[in-house]
């Protein structure tokens, strides 16, 4: 890319200033689609990823299904590799098909191992995703003759994003938004009261599968930018942060989405700032993850001080704690 | 090059990876039992990922300070420290902020891994050598082990085995009944801390071989396989160690053989291969282990069902025989309603068991057949009598239960029932209970 990048040599605040000016330019039509530079592509892609992941993540966290999401983020590698080997292309539709297949397969296998073979849940999740991930890596290195492709899939490379990558993340974001709005009520009721949901005719199991499909679509949409593993941070950290700040579901979704997008913006700006002043090109996705982690840390401290100020213990019914009592 | 199995233990290049990964996988098999039985297998997963920032950070530090000689030691320390921090964060999240266990594990995993990758990206352009080294820790690199690693893993294995052997009783109490362990004065907190340290130590030493992403599989897979073969803790340790070692060796073996058979065009990574092999062993154990394997279980169920069908048919023939009917296939179809093909199949089986014999179109019971048929009817009616006379159930509700119990009751139970009911001659439906045929 030989053209001029207006963001080069900007600092953290300078980045936002330039961003504002350019955004105005896009709005008024002075700048067109083809004028997008790499920083803006990063911003759009990471923002879309963060937004979509936050919406899905809220339900993952509330339904205590994050470990299944973790498993998915590993097995999605196999899906990507198999899809690539079979079709030799990486079009949006192929990738989304692969995501759906992997999502279904992972969920089905873990449920099968847990319910039919009667293996305890943690072990069945751990066993399946690590074996499938290993299979993915072996296939990848075997057929691509390129070990680095594997590292790129896992670590992501936000700095090598191109305009074409916007299409898949926006497609995934669109899917997540549409499904999220369409099934908001179903998700809500199956999350908080599965029995009532059943009585109303919503199958919690079907919504589990739907959620896992959405998760895998999110993971596969974002692997180029953030890698299959770091997308977990986008899925889990913003909802956890939002959970500390509110007790209402739709507030939680809005806050989580806002935190995700803010994290993406700050991350990209920080990455540019560090490149300008230290001359080190850091992994942008990694920085976003760290920023999200810091948000969580800050909200934990806010929560902690609020709790100690009123000194009223909030009783949170936590099923996990009941089972853990024996181990303490 | 001709590769024999023995070659893997003698060849100076192959020896270290083969023996090293066997030892390491054996240790992780042993340690895996501890986390598996506490149902915290995924803690290993999170902590293995949590070692990554320590690994990358200390590699970078060593690069800056020119400490290449003590690099492996530094990496160990870094990995250990960051795993400890990871555990502390998980613990805080779960206990102080009441975050559910899965969410805190996942959050720590993702955040630490992201931090590790950010640190790695510092080196990406400036120190390509260090960056390559950091990347090997993602998937592990068993192939470049040297003899010194055999020694390290050997010492680790010895320590873990000694630890388990010395504290075996205390560990058993801790694993299966923590309140009991606390009540009997076992220093369970100290022991728990020690177990945790052993787990982290194994993870930290193992990431070089299997990589941070796949290390947890080495803990889970052997323990899963071992659980399928035994109900005893001591045997489970042994099996798990064996399965671990087997997976480690076969993984290295297949990786080397596959790489060689493609003459260096493709290289098959050893870490993922070990995991793949261990996972396959676990899958095999889950499906085909005697007693607990899924397929075996289903076969047993199918066998039992077939035996029930045979017994039911025998019972029907015995009854018809009592009534003095000549038994042929049309009569049986009319009475029982099986399709003719299926009926012939079961009849043939009964003939093979020498309970029936055939004369023209008619079937007759042998001595054994009469004895067995009488026994089934006897059990059926005894059970009905028991339900009605001893438990006071209504007469019309006992038949169904007796239909099931007649296949399950053992001779000892039969004797007890006979004694209890004072050897009844008639069942509640006023049908005669046949005598025991000797």
Q: Is the pLDDT of residue B17 over 90?
A: no
* Pair of tokens at residue B377: 């009817």
CB contact under 8 A, B107 and A127: no
Task: Give the least confident one: A51-65, A140-154, A243-257, B90-104.
Answer: A140-154
- Per CB-CB distance under 8 Å, the chain A contacts of B52 are none
Is residue B7 within 8 Å of B14, Cβ to Cβ? yes
Is residue A125 in some structural domain? yes
Write phi, then psi, for A79 (nearest 5 degrees).
-60, -45
Residue-level pLDDT at B115: 93
Please state the rounded mean pLDDT for residues A172-200.
91
User: Is the per-residue pLDDT at A319 higher than 50?
Assistant: no
pLDDT for position A157 = 77
Are the CB atoms for B378 and B431 separated by under 8 Å?
A: no
Residue A91: both structure tokens together: 């079009």
- A2: confidence class by pLDDT, cuts 50, 70, 90: very low
Quick one: which H or E segment has residue B365?
strand B362-365
pLDDT for B86: 94
Cβ contacts of B109 on chain A, cutoff 8 Å: 70, 232
What domain range is A274 assigned to?
26-304
Q: Compute the average pLDDT of residues B226-240.
A: 94
Highest mean pLDDT (candidates B133-147, B183-197, B325-339): B183-197
Q: What is the pLDDT of residue A325?
A: 40
Rounded to the nearest angstrom, the minimum Cα separation between B271 and chain A is: 8
- Which tokens sit at B438? 């000797």
Confidence of residue A257 (pLDDT cuts 50, 70, 90): very high
Sort out which chain A residues have CB atoms less than 8 A from B120's CB and list them. Answer: 155, 283
Contact B227, B32 (CB under 8 A): no
- Please count the CA atoms within 13 angstroms of the CA of A68 that sit on its side-chain side: 30
CA-nearest of A85, A44, A53 to A216 is A53
Structure tokens at B285: 């154990």
Mean pLDDT, chain B, whole residue set: 87
| Residues paired with B432 in a beta bridge | B426
Q: Pull the structure tokens for residue B103.
A: 């969410």
Cα separation, A69 vs A60, in Å, equals 8
For residue A265, is pLDDT > 50?
yes
- Residue B330: pLDDT above 90? no
Considering only CB atoms, which chain A residues are within 8 Å of B139?
137, 150
Instruction: Find the Cα–Cα–Cα–Cα dihedral B253, B256, B258, B262, rounded to 10°.
Output: -160
A219, A234 Cβ separation under 8 angstroms: no
pLDDT tens digits, residue range B283-312? 999 999 888 889 999 999 999 999 999 988
Task: Tell me what the mean pLDDT of segment B176-195 comes to.
Answer: 86
Give the pLDDT score at B114: 92
Contact B107 A285 (CB under 8 A): no
The CA distance from A168 to the nearest CA of chain B, in Å, is: 23
Query: Is A84 within a domain?
Result: yes
- B10-290: CATH superfamily: ABC transporter involved in vitamin B12 uptake, BtuC (1.10.3470.10)
In DSSP terms, which residues pair with B364 in a beta bridge? B357
| φ/ψ of residue B120, rounded to 5 | -60, -35
Q: How far apart are CA A50 and CA A231, in angstroms?
A: 9
The 3-state DSSP class for residue A323 equals helix
Q: Do A318 and B98 touch (CB under 8 A)?
A: yes
Specify the pLDDT at position A112: 92
Least confident of A218-227, B55-64, B255-264, B335-344: B255-264
Q: Which two tokens stand for residue A228?
A: 């299959």
- Could you tell me the residue ranges of all domains in chain B? 10-290, 297-365
Could you report the predicted ipTM of this complex, rounded to two decimals?
Answer: 0.88
State how far residue B61 is from chain A, nearest Cα, in angstroms: 16
- Percent of all residues in chain A with a pLDDT value above 90, rounded to a whole number: 37
Selecting from A122, A133, A319 the residue whose C-beta is nearest the C-beta of B41 gives A122
Residues 6+ positions from B249 with CB-CB distance below 8 Å: B8, B18, B21, B22
Domain containing residue A276: CATH number: 1.10.3470.10
Establish if A291 touches chain B: CB-CB under 8 angstroms.
no
- What is residue B213's predicted lDDT score, i.e. its pLDDT? 85
Average pLDDT over residues B183-187: 82
Q: How confident is the model at residue A326 (pLDDT cuts 50, 70, 90)?
A: very low
Q: What is the dihedral of CA B81, B85, B90, B93, to 10 degrees?
A: 170
pTM (two decimals): 0.86
Q: Write down the pLDDT at residue B437.
A: 65
A326 touches chain B (CB under 8 A): yes
- For chain A, the average pLDDT equals 84
Question: How confident is the model over B373-429, as pLDDT tens digits?
Answer: 889 999 999 898 999 988 888 888 888 888 888 898 888 888 888 888 888 888 888
The structural domain count of chain A equals 1
Q: Percent of chain B at pLDDT above 70?
A: 98
* Lowest mean pLDDT segment, chosen from A195-209, B133-147, B407-421: B133-147
pLDDT given for residue A158 in this prediction:
74
| pLDDT for residue A321 is more than 70 | no
Q: Which of A31-40, A319-328, B94-103, B297-306 has the highest mean pLDDT?
A: B297-306
The yes-or-no verdict on residue A324 having pLDDT over 50 is no
pLDDT at position B400, please? 87
Q: Does A301 touch chain B (CB under 8 A)?
A: no
Contacts of residue A230 in chain B, CB cutoff 8 Å?
110, 113-114, 117
Minimum mean pLDDT range among A43-47, A276-280, B197-201:
A276-280
B161-167: average pLDDT: 93
Q: Which residues of B touch A281 (CB under 8 A)?
A: 121, 124-125
Q: Does domain B297-365 have CATH number 1.10.10?
A: yes
B96 neighbourhood in chain A, CB within 8 Å: 304
The crossing angle, in degrees rounded to 10, of helices B188-210 and B71-95 is: 130
Task: Report how far Cα B349 is from the mean position of its chain's Cα atoms.
Answer: 35
Residues 56-75 of A with CB under 8 A from B: 61, 64-67, 69-70, 74
- The two tokens of residue B426 are 């008639």
B217, A135: Cβ pair inside 8 Å?
no
Spatial CB neighbours of A78, under 8 Å, sequence gap ≥ 6:
A102, A132, A133, A135, A136, A139
């Amino acid at each position: 890319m030989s053209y001029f990048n207006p963001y080069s040599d900007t600092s953290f605040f300078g980045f936002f200033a330039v961003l504002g000016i350019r955004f105005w330019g896009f709005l008024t039509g002075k700048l067109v689609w083809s004028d997008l530079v790499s920083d803006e592509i990063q911003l759009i892609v990471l923002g879309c990823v963060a937004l979509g992941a936050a919406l899905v993540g809220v339900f993952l966290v509330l339904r205590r299904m994050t470990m299944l999401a973790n498993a998915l983020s590993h097995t999605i590698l196999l899906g990507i590799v198999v899809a690539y080997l079979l079709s030799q292309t990486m079009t949006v539709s192929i990738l989304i098909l692969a995501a759906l297949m992997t999502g279904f397969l992972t969920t089905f296998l873990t449920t099968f191992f847990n319910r039919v073979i009667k293996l305890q849940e943690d072990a069945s999740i751990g066993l399946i995703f690590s074996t499938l991930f290993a299979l993915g890596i072996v296939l990848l290195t075997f057929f691509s003759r390129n070990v680095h492709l594997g590292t790129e899939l896992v670590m992501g490379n936000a700095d090598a994003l191109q305009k074409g990558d916007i299409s898949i993340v926006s497609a995934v974001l669109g899917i997540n938004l549409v499904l999220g709005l369409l099934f908001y009520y179903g998700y809500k009721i199956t999350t908080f009261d599965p029995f009532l949901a059943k009585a109303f005719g919503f199958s919690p199991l079907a919504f589990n599968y739907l959620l896992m499909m959405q998760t895998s679509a999110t993971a596969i949409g974002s692997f180029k930018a953030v890698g299959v593993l770091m997308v977990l941070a986008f899925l889990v950290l913003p909802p956890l942060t939002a959970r500390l700040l509110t007790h209402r579901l739709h507030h939680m979704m809005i806050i989580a989405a806002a935190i995700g997008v803010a994290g993406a913006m700050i991350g990209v700006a920080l990455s540019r700032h560090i490149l300008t002043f230290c001359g080190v090109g850091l992994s942008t996705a990694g920085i976003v993850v760290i920023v999200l982690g810091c948000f969580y840390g800050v909200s934990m401290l806010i929560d902690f001080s609020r709790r100690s100020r009123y000194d009223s213990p909030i009783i949170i019914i936590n099923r996990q704690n009941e089972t853990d009592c024996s181990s303490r | 090059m001709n590769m024999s199995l023995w070659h893997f233990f003698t060849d100076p290049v192959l020896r270290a990876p083969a023996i090293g990964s066997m030892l390491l996988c054996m240790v992780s098999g042993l340690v895996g039992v501890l986390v598996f039985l506490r149902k915290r297998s995924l803690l290993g997963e999170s902590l293995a990922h949590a070692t990554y920032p320590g690994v990358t950070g200390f590699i970078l530090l060593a690069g800056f300070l020119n400490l290449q000689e003590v690099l492996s030691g530094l990496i160990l320390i870094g990995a250990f420290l960051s795993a400890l921090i990871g555990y502390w964060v998980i613990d805080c999240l779960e206990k102080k902020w009441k975050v559910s266990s899965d969410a805190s594990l996942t959050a720590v995993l993702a955040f630490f891994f992201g931090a590790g990758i950010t640190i790695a990206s510092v080196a990406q352009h400036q120190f390509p050598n260090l960056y390559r080294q950091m990347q090997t820790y993602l998937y592990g690199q068993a192939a470049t082990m040297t003899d010194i690693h055999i020694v390290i893993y050997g010492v680790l294995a010895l320590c873990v085995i000694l630890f388990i052997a010395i504290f075996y009783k205390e560990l058993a109490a801790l694993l299966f009944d923590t309140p009991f362990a606390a009540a009997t004065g076992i220093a369970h907190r100290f022991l728990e801390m020690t177990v945790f340290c052993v787990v982290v130590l194994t993870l930290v030493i193992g990431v070089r071989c299997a990589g941070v992403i796949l290390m947890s599989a080495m803990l889970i897979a052997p323990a899963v396989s071992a659980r399928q073969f035994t109900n005893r803790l001591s045997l489970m340790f042994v099996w798990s160690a064996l399965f671990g070692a087997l997976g480690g060796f076969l993984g290295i073996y297949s990786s080397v053989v596959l790489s060689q058979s493609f003459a260096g065009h493709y290289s098959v990574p050893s870490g993922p291969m070990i995991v793949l092999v261990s996972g396959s062993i676990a899958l095999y154990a889950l499906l085909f282990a005697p007693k607990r394997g899924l397929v075996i279980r289903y076969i047993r169920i199918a066998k039992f069902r077939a035996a029930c069908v045979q017994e039911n048919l025998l019972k029907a023939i015995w009854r018809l025989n009592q009534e003095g009917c000549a038994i042929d296939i049309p009569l049986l179809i009319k009475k029982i309603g099986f399709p003719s093909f299926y009926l012939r199949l079961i009849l043939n089986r009964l003939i093979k068991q020498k309970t029936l014999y055939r004369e023209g179109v008619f079937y007759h019971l042998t001595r054994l057949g009469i004895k067995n048929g009488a026994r089934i009817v006897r059990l059926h009616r005894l059970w009905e009598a028991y339900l009605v006379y001893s438990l006071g159930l209504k007469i019309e509700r006992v038949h169904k239960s007796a239909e099931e119990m007649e296949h399950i009751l053992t001779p000892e139970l039969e004797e007890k029932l006979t004694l209890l009911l004072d050897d009844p001659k008639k069942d509640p439906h006023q049908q005669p209970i046949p005598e025991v045929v000797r």
